Chains A and B, each alone.
Chain A
């Protein structure tokens, strides 16, 4: 029987404190006393609030809680393994990429995360431009293959950990005998009202697909024309992979454009579902970034976390933590073999887009998509 594990904890004390604060209608001061439940927040631990040598030395020996914001199916297993291996107390915030980016942006100049790990490098390029990421660090516990080296930014402000495909064509083989080999085919009458995709304004990886289409078609204008044609042909837009794939299963659509790892997972669970890769598909790197604003102690632990991810033990957890979901990636660390369900990369027409070109345009392109495709 498949085991799905979610994090558990002992909340009783916290609840008592919350209860006392709330039941008494405590005002802010009372609640602030109760905030001792926030056990040694990284910013309050700051023995190394200044970057002196002494502080850095102290940081290297002091174990503070490492806060990991992550949106990978295997993140919980990875965090658990890391904590067991290093003894560093690690707290996980496991949500969708969009939710985590909303938190990060709302936290602004008082960030609470030490590590951010999700799919799609466009957002990381934007965070890098805002000076929010630690630069110049690369894990040394594993070496990258040629594929992985393509994804390393010049300033080494983030760390690629694997690659998936942003938009594969997942179809119902019981009603589609010959899947299209080009994206242009989806604008034809045979596919009218039969195609669905995620809303890039809600599903982060989908933006990479949209940007990738614009990239291969020659620019934003040409890309907008393509998506306008898709919309005119009855494109269905849903919120996330799960909803879009559910629509595929329910027969609302015959083909869904979603991240290939989600499609392969569905293919495994529902044999009539198949995955195709029209020319060209866009690479979607899994990426890990370290907060530039947290204490040196937590940054040191974040580096250890990245090192662990690149280690054989960490790679093993990545491959096994979500066997029918995010674990279905193309490995980029030498010595790591891909999951048996994942096709050979050489068989896929794949392109790589520049996150520093397309990342900063995410807001305006999503805005256009919402106005003209979602609401159009």
Chain B
């Protein structure tokens, strides 16, 4: 109820009557202007999404039933590609993909839940390093992890050098189980970033409420656990989608294990001559359908739920002290996970680059010749510079568009538009980069476009557009969690205190999102820097991205040099990430980076366990919760 200065009730008509007519009209114009500018902005975003993310894949996928549209066949409408795809083994490949992706999703959720619990709910040693290590897991390409495991378990690998080679181990690792594990490890960071914020943010208020009403720890857990279901499902589905669309493991372990997966089938359809884009499109549709089903299942489970659990008044839970045994178990769990997902494969790759083949594991067989040999490779500086520059530009563009899309989804998930966008972006995660690349050729090399003066194919801008299109789905999904956690009350509070729209975001929300935005940009940069399928098909003649240059060198170098080059390339991206984080720590405003030092707040005793707890309750701590760091 609104009251006037004298205490009388003010109805809308009263408010209107007290306002001068011109002012009311001006207000209406202002509001209309604001609404139209918001509408225009939304239209612009929609246009960008359509041109970047919808049209090119659609041009590719339509060929499943109408190859003649793009001169790839004689039929305007045919189902023959569907039958051909399944005759070629798509059914089995799809089942294989679903099976390993389900396994990967489950493994990732379990690992992520364990890590999130340790980092968010305990004082276990080393937990502050989890996020950094998880980002390292995320940044190392899946093919390198797969190759690393191969180097360990093969007959000529590290295990054999130590006399520990075993055929069963080799068959297990280089088979479906190994594929699922590698994909699960690679997906764990996604699941963690989906789970950790909820794990950290849910506890404080809700747990206190349970305890105030006489509930014990088990009761609190029973209340909190179901609230994590959306985060668990969110993490599971994105890992599932990433695994279904994975190319790195599909072309390494899976390809050599007589274990065909759908992405490899797609790869074969496109690589053969004549390329069968129609069959590849059918595979693309099947990938989309698989992920869409998973997404519908998720939405069904989460219907009518809201992700908004953090507001300006939210409090994180108090971290638990586990004791010596608990700390040891927590540490053991973390060491086992990071060892398997990062340590062992990197050991395999690095050892392969340092050992002389067939000489066993002796000090005398160690050599730096592979790295020294790379010194003779000239001409890599141009490609490195190009990829670093376009990675920077497209990384920023990706994170900008990704943030807009994440905010759109977070604020309108219950609307049709939000749901469609949500599903479209997740489905896009499952489409391999080569689908985007070929789709961009079909969409932007049409003769009528060239005649109209829109001659984009074979230009750097089109390459950049494809890079952004390929990276945005993942980027927006990563930022969806943090954006979903931002309650509108933060903005409302800023507006009530007189801040404009821009200042509300800049001062009220950006500090909370600075770190997720930075990480998303770094992830986009790292992915773009070493991106291959799009670079191969869309880089203009004479322009050599670093991944293509590396491939060229690998074709001529020996195996050890090739591995050494891969190690250096990944080390370079990790170095860039490290430098950026360091600069952020040094240069970002204090409010953006002091989140790691929460202000202890003394809370009153809760429930039967009278104690004084140091509960972090500042906004900066909430920010830490948002990125899963405590």
Contact = CB atoms under 8 A, between A and B. Distances in A.
Interface of A: 1-12, 14-15, 17-19, 21-23, 25-29, 31-32, 34-35, 37-38, 41, 43-44, 65, 67-68, 73, 91-95, 98-99, 101-103, 105-110, 112, 122-123, 126, 174, 199-202, 204, 207, 236-239, 242-243, 245-247, 249-252, 269-270, 272, 322, 324-325, 362-363, 366-367, 370-371, 374-376
B512 interface: no
A3 B373 CA distance: 9
B416 interface: no
Contacts of A199: 255, 268
Contacts of B377: 3-6
Interface residues of B, number: 96
Nearest to B380: A6
Contacts of B442: 106
Contact of A7 (B70, B544, B555): B544
B20 interface: no
A137 to B, nearest CB: 22
B557 interface: yes
A94 B552 contact: yes
Given A32-B453, A238-B256, A19 B89 contact: no
14 contacts: A7-B542, A9-B543, A14-B460, A18-B464, A22-B465, A35-B455, A35-B456, A38-B458, A98-B273, A102-B275, A110-B445, A112-B457, A249-B156, A252-B155
Contacts of B559: 242, 245-246, 249
Contacts of B382: 7-11
Contacts of B255: 199, 238-239
Contacts of B51: 27-28
Nearest to A32: B454
A371 B87 contact: yes
Contacts of B389: 11-12, 15
Given A3-B378, A32-B456, A18 B556 contact: no
A28 B444 CA distance: 10
Given A44-B455, A92-B542, A22 B272 contact: no
A375 B93 contact: yes
B208 interface: no
A14 B460 CA distance: 6
B400 A25 contact: yes
A23 B393 contact: yes
Instruction: For the complex of A and B, list the 10 residue pairs with the smallest distance between their C-beta atoms, beginning with the closest.
Output: A8-B382, A91-B541, A91-B542, A19-B393, A22-B397, A11-B386, A14-B460, A201-B272, A18-B464, A32-B454
Contact of B376 (A2, A102, A269, A272): A2
Nearest to A323: B556
Given A15-B393, A25-B397, A38-B540, 11 more contacts: A6-B379, A7-B379, A19-B397, A22-B465, A112-B445, A174-B358, A199-B255, A204-B273, A242-B559, A243-B256, A325-B555
B385 interface: yes
A252 to B, nearest CB: 6
Given A32-B455, A106-B277, A107-B445, A8 B44 contact: no
Given A7-B382, A27-B51, A106-B442, A201 B461 contact: no
Q: Which of B549, B556, B557 has the most CB of A within 10 A?
A: B556
B154 A251 contact: yes
A272 B460 contact: no
Contacts of A22: 393-394, 397, 461, 464-465, 468
Contacts of A122: 273
B390 A15 contact: yes
